């Protein structure tokens, strides 16, 4: 399955309806969520992520845990997520996973974010029973954290932009500017 077709244009409205009741999902219940390759996750993230479209593969494949998920409907991708061990030194020795990237297509059905979080956490609980907690950082400049709150996550810490970036990081490793809120949920 691919997000691109022909001249690298996303297939949004096929000419003919499909057997699933239409060619465009109208509800997050219609999306099929499952594991995808890291390369596909990087491509999807590049197409849709609001602040950090570049995801350096060498930076994520060296982690102990790497989980990539995608959501599709009628062979068209609508969302992707990349989970790894936490990158903050204070958390990287804990049995936690961090949602490093979560990107959705502009035509993804409303309320898909929180539903996809719940489905992914179910996969994590089943496949990685030793993982005790999940976490993610919300960029307050562009998001309100609504998907995390709706999925039962808790805001546990606020970080100022000055606490986030380090001047000695390479440009590709820099994070988006702006304040962050760390959200967590026990599994």
Tens-digit pLDDT profile for residues 110-141: 999 999 999 999 999 999 999 999 999 999 98
User: How does DSSP classify residue 172?
Assistant: G
pLDDT above 50 (res 13): no
Phi, psi (degrees; rounded to nearest 5) at 165: -90, 150
Each domain of the chain, given as residue ranges in start order, spans 28-166+173-186
Report the chain's C-alpha Rg in angstroms.
17
User: H-type helices in 1-152, by residue range?
Assistant: 38-48, 57-60, 112-127, 146-150
pLDDT above 60 (res 166): no
Q: What distance in Å separates the CA atoms of residue 162 and residue 38, rounded to the nearest whole number?
A: 30
Phi, psi (degrees; rounded to nearest 5) at 7: -90, 40
Class of domain 28-166+173-186: alpha beta
As a whole number, the mean pLDDT across the chain is 84
142 token code pair:
């562009």
> What integer pLDDT is reported at residue 160 of this predicted model?
83
Give 83-118 pLDDT, tens digit per residue.
Answer: 999 988 888 789 999 999 999 999 999 999 999 999
Q: From residue 99, how far is each of 75, 80, 85, 109 by CA, in Å?
A: 24, 11, 9, 21
pLDDT band at 180 (very low <50, low <70, confident <90, very high): very high
Arithmetic mean of pLDDT, 152-166: 77
**Whose CA is closest to 117, among 77, 75, 145, 157?**
145
Provide the greatest CA pair distance for the chain.
53
Phi, psi (degrees; rounded to nearest 5) at 10: -70, 135
Arithmetic mean of pLDDT, 148-157: 96
């Amino acid at each position: 399955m691919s997000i691109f077709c022909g001249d690298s244009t996303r297939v949004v409205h096929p000419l003919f309806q499909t057997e699933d009741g239409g060619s465009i999902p109208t509800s997050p219940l219609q999306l099929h969520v499952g594991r995808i390759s890291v390369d596909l996750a990087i491509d999807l993230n590049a197409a849709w992520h609001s602040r950090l479209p570049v995801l350096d593969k060498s930076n994520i494949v060296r982690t102990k845990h790497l989980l990539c998920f995608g959501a599709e409907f009628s062979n068209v991708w609508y969302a992707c997520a990349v989970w790894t061990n936490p990158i903050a030194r204070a958390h990287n020795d804990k049995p936690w996973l961090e949602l490093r990237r979560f990107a959705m297509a502009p035509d993804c059905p409303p309320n898909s974010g929180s539903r996809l979080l719940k489905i992914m956490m179910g996969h994590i609980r089943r496949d990685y029973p030793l993982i005790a907690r999940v976490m993610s950082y919300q960029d307050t400049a562009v998001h309100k954290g609504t998907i995390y709150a709706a999925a039962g996550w808790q805001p546990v810490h606020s970080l100022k932009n000055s606490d986030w970036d380090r001047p000695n990081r390479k440009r590709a490793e820099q994070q988006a500017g702006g304040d962050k809120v760390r959200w967590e949920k026990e599994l």
